[in-house]
Structure 1
Amino acid sequence: DLKAYLITPLFEKSLRKQVLETILDKANLSEIMKRFLTLLFDKKRLLYLKDIFDYYATLLDEYKGICRAELISAISLPDDVLEAIKTKLKEVTGKKEVVLEIKEDPQLIGGIVTKIGDMVYDGSIRRQLNILKENLKRGEV
């Protein structure tokens, strides 16, 4: 694993940097990207590269008006339903585009769960049954 090699103190830093520079020279990267990766290496921050990439992708989505959401349903949903959900999510979020990552979970029984960032909108039958169960325990029904 290249990342493990580049961050391990078992090999001399100069040797690890030489390997990195050789790889960067052969890679089709812009000069600014090469300098950025070298800077991360010099500052011992290469292990944060994935986090940096994820944060950059989030900023880019924000700039382009893209909302990424995870949609979980008990069954596969038809395309017209997915388009209706996308349209509603565009209205709710105010974004130009919604990109859905679709997953199936039969344990939901029915309904959908939508995750956008830290927000979770749980409209599943499983959740409704759990609420009913808790209300019955407290004698509220």
Structure 2
Amino acid sequence: MSEQRAASRYAKSMLDLAQERGNLEQVKEDMDLFAKTLEQNRDLRLLLRNPIVKHDKKLSILRAIFGGKVSEVTEKFFTIITQHNRESALEWVAIEFQSQYEALRGIQVAQVTTATPLNAILRHEVTKLVREQTGHQSVTLSEKVDPELIGGFVLRVGDRQIDDSVRSRLNRLRNTLKETSHQSQL
């Protein structure tokens, strides 16, 4: 079974259990903390993937890092994962949990990349555009700045992308000019 498929199943189980116990929001915060910690700590990611490190050692490290900071459900989840030798899937579980949580709550996540940070008016306009395109009323906007875009924006919603950046327009213009010059030489 692939890591991502296993992660999807573990995330679904954790989501269902958290709902059943009435602490879904706490477990969501736990998974956010876990994902952020993994994102910022390459050594921890490598440790969890390392087949040489014993499973009980990995569990003790997870307890040392997250003990008292996460809910009882999350701590027990870490124990179950390590007992089943699936620590390498934990990184994917955190990502998949967030995705399933957003789907459950009807939250549409969109990533917008701009050359400069968005101001409040532009942020509102982008959020409005995402609502119109997807029909979701609840939108979480992830913002990223890439000065190489020069201007405009790149908006990614799920597997769709709208690229209205100056860089993209310049590339299209360059390709059109190349094609035109090749055709005129014939």
Aligned length: 136
Q: Which has the higher helix share?
A: 2
| In the alignment, structure 1 residue 29 sits paired with structure 2 residue 74 | no
What letter corresponds to residue 29 of structure 1 in structure 2? S
CA RMSD, Structure 1 to Structure 2 (Å): 3.0
Name stretches of at least 5 consecutive residues in structure 2 with no aligned partner. Answer: 1-42
Report the CA distance between 1:52 and its aligned residue.
0.6
Sort the Cα spacing of 1:136 and 1:59 in 2 relative to 1 into closer, same or farther, 3 A: same
- Alignment-derived partner of residue 57 in structure 2: 16
* Greater Rg by CA: 1
- Equivalent pair of 2:115/2:153 in contact (CA under 8 Å): yes
1:78 offset after TM fit, Å?
2.3
Normalising to structure 1: TM-score of the pair? Answer: 0.77
Counterpart amino acid of residue 110 in structure 1: G
Q: In 2 relative to 1, CA 64–138 (structure 1 residues): closer, same or farther, beyond 3 Å?
A: same
Q: Which amino acid is 1:56 matched to?
A: F
How far the C-alpha of 1:7 sits from its partner, in A, is: 5.7
Q: 1:59 aligns with which of 97, 100, 109?
A: 100
The answer to whether structure 1 residue 115 and structure 2 residue 150 are counterparts is no
Determine if contact 1:74/1:109 at 8 Å carries over to the other structure.
yes
Matches within 5 A, 1:1-141: 4=47, 8-9=51-52, 11=54, 16=57, 19=60, 27=68, 29-30=71-72, 32-139=73-180
Q: Is the 8 A contact 2:62 2:78 kept in 1?
A: no
Q: What amino acid is aligned across from residue 131 of structure 2 in structure 1?
A: K
Deviations 1:19-40 (A, max 9, x none): 47976xx54533x444432221
SS in 2 for 1:85: helix
- Normalising by structure 2, report the TM-score: 0.61
| CA displacement 1:64-101 (0-9 Å, x = unmatched) | 11112211112233211210110110111121211112
Change (3 A) 1:81 1:35: closer
C-alpha distance in 2 between matches for 1:108 and 1:17? 42
Identity, % of aligned positions: 26
The aligned amino acid for 2:154 is: V
Q: Secondary structure of 1:58's match?
A: helix
Distance of aligned partners of 1:81 and 1:2 in 2 relative to their CA distance in 1, 3 Å threshold:
closer
Residues 67 and 95 in structure 1, CA contact (< 8 A), matched pair in contact too: yes
Deviates more, 1:110-119 or 1:32-41: 32-41
> Which 4+ runs in 1 deviate beyond 4 A?
5-8, 20-23
